[in-house]
Homo-oligomer: A and B are copies of this chain.
Amino acid sequence: MKLVLGIDGGGTSCRAALATADGTVIGRAKSGAANIRTDLTGARANILDAARQAFVAAGQDSELIPQTPAILGLAGANVGTYRKQLEAILPFSVSRVETDAEIALEGAVGSGDGAMAILGTGTAYMARKAGKSRAIGGWGFQVGDQGSGARIGRDLLEQTLLAYDGIRQGSPLTQAMLAIFRDNPEDLVEFTTNAKPGDFGGFAPKVFDHAEKGDAVANWILDKAVADVEAALGVLDLGDDDPLCLLGGLAPLYAPRLSARYRALLKPPLDDALGGAVQMAVRVFAKAAEAAR
């Protein structure tokens, strides 16, 4: 029986799935972090650990690893030469390293044309057209990630201070925010000094909540955020039949706010990123082998 491996490695964990040539997963396992940019040798160790455990979970002999091809979607694979370095030191029969975004896209929309928007604490986009992928965004909170939870939260704090100074009209939302900081703008500013993107992003659901109730500041912030998200989607140049998947924690909150053009393209993701790695492995290795027979 011919087997393939799918690997999904990120900053906190690495997951592996062993599958038969038709894509049926027969064993899964999980190990530690696998970001090849921050720790290449540590990533390699955790990848092998997860792969071995997946063989064990499937009741298969891990001695077969050198005969098994693998697709690996890994954080950090988009930068520098880490991808080539890792491919050279992996024990699989064939090792193909992709970005984590690439396998997430394969999982979400399959192997054809389509796009995904990751809308969470950060934002990032990827589309595939005629087999060619393009990633945009994802530059982080400080000067990127427009429309992200972190940016929405930061915008809310900024508008709250502007309302305090009388520069913009306040709203129930800005009043509620100031109350969180004991009605003291100094406390609000103090909070921002060491706040991480996730801390700002924690306020984003509140903005969607209040927008729903008609809050003017909340709707102003979200109108801008939706425009930013749609500006990015516009660059992806989606066809009328291309599936568009929204991923990330804010996906269900954004979906009803998109314009009709994009709402018409929305599809639930077919699978997750690990499933994407497995499906890509089946497509690239098993089906290619079958065709060659």
Chain A contacts to B: CB under 8 angstroms: 79, 136-137, 139-140, 142-144, 146, 154, 157-158, 161-162, 165-168, 185-186, 188-189, 192-193, 195, 231-232, 234-235
Contacts and interface: CB of A to CB of B under 8 A. Distances in A.
A231 B232 CA distance: 29
Nearest to A141: B192
Given A144-B189, A161-B144, A189-B144, A167 B231 contact: yes
Q: Which of A142, A157, A192 has the most CB of B within 10 A?
A: A142
Given A142-B154, A154-B143, A186-B79, A165 B136 contact: yes
A143 B167 contact: no
Nearest to A188: B143
Contacts of A188: 143
Given A143-B161, A158-B143, A136 B167 contact: yes
Nearest to A37: B186
Contact of A166 (B136, B167, B195): B136
The 3 tightest CB contacts between A and B, nearest first, are A136-B165, A143-B158, A142-B192
A157 to B, nearest CB: 4
B157 A143 contact: yes
Contacts of A235: 165-167
Nearest to A234: B167
